[in-house]
Amino acid sequence: MAVHRLLLVVAACSSGSPGPIANHSDRADPVAPTRDELIELVKPHAGHSLAAASARGCPAEETLGVWVARLIEYGSPKQDGSVHRLTATCGARATTMNAPPPTREDAETYWSCSLDAYASDPAGESPWSCGLIVRVRKADRSLDLRSLGCPGTC
């Protein structure tokens, strides 16, 4: 009986069609976090130091909570007519920081999410933006704090 199960497993694994390979990705949530959900996922880690992510643009002396609060402030509409936006995207790979393409395992396991604050004067001139990049595990929506990056300048 055990030999038959082993043969079945070997046959299934060698069938040539790739199946889910990482972190039980068949149980992964198929819907990526929205902007507000991403902010909520960060909140429990507000006290996390950004020192380890300083090589990826994060301010070493700040915490994740302080940085995200700054992004929210900079991206929130103002009464002076200037343009401010706070957006988020989650996909297979980071859209900034020149990240290499993800491995198949990473693409099945994580969303690469970014939270971006954009501002410019009323005419759309002198634009600037800054943000946060973090991987979110699809199976349980946990943050990979080792993946933090802070593109742009605030």
pTM over 0.85: no
Q: What is the 3-state secondary structure (H, E, C) of the chain?
A: CHHHHHHHHHHHHCCCCCCCCCCCHHHCCCCCCCHHHHHHHHHHHCCCECHHHHHHCCCCCCEHHHHHHHHHHHHCCCCCCCEEEEEEEEECCCCCCCCCCCCHHHHHHEEEEEEEEEEECCCCCCCEEEEEEEEEECCCCCEEEEEEECCECC
pLDDT at 6: 36
What pLDDT, in 10s, does the model give residues 26-64? 566 689 999 999 999 999 999 999 999 999 999 999 999
Is the per-residue pLDDT at 98 higher than 80?
A: no
Both tokens assigned to 15 = 């069938």
